[in-house]
Amino acid sequence: MMALDAEAQDFSVLIADDEPSSRETLRGIVEPLGFRTILAPSGEHAIDIVRSMSIHLALLDLNLGRMSGLDVLRMARQVVAGLPAILVTADATVKVMRDAQREDVYSVIPKPVTRSVVIYTVTRALAQRYGAPVNPPLQPPVG
């Protein structure tokens, strides 16, 4: 377990989305807070990253080409048990929400994302999993 009041730079966030603009949008929200971000353009690449790097949270698009974000999460959790994950999707149907709940996804964020929702959800997910408040640098709220 991490020490209380962990700093943002203590955490690595995997961002997996097959759309470059979506990856960059999420990176543009998460990285300025001090979190390390690692980008993956596909589910296969995301799995390779989880196998080779220390990842503390996964932000996964539901549709990642040949794999779904939930498929990636199942495989990632074989490597990192209990890896917290946030699903991002333009298709937040009741079925998607049920499937996400079944896979113990921390939250489902609808696209288009808003900065405040991403920041809130990412910091809460990390705090819940690692038992420490996460203190990103204070910045004025935008969006």
> The CATH number of the domain where 39 resides is what?
3.40.50.2300
> Would you say residue 141 lies in a domain?
no
Is residue 143 domain-resident? no
In a domain, 53, yes or no: yes
Instruction: Please report whether residue 142 resides in a domain.
Output: no
Return the pLDDT at 119.
94
How far is 71 from 44, CA to CA, in rounded Å? 10
**pLDDT block averages, 10 residues each, the chain of length 143:** 52 96 97 95 97 97 94 96 96 92 96 95 92 60 46
Q: Is residue 93 part of a domain?
A: yes
For residue 50, being part of any structural domain is answered with: yes
pLDDT at 138: 47
Number of neighbouring beta carbons within 10 Å of residue 129: 18
Report the number of distinct structural domains present in the chain.
1
User: Can you give the pTM of this predicted structure?
Assistant: 0.88
Beta bridge partners of 63: 68
**Domain for residue 140, yes or no?**
no
DSSP 97-139: HHHHHHTT-SEEEESSP-HHHHHHHHHHHHHHHHSS-EEPPP-
> Do the domain assignments include residue 1?
no
Q: Please give the angle made by the CA atoms of 41, 44 and 49, to the nearest 5 degrees.
A: 80
Structural domain boundaries enclosing 10? 6-135
Which pLDDT score is estimated for 142? 47
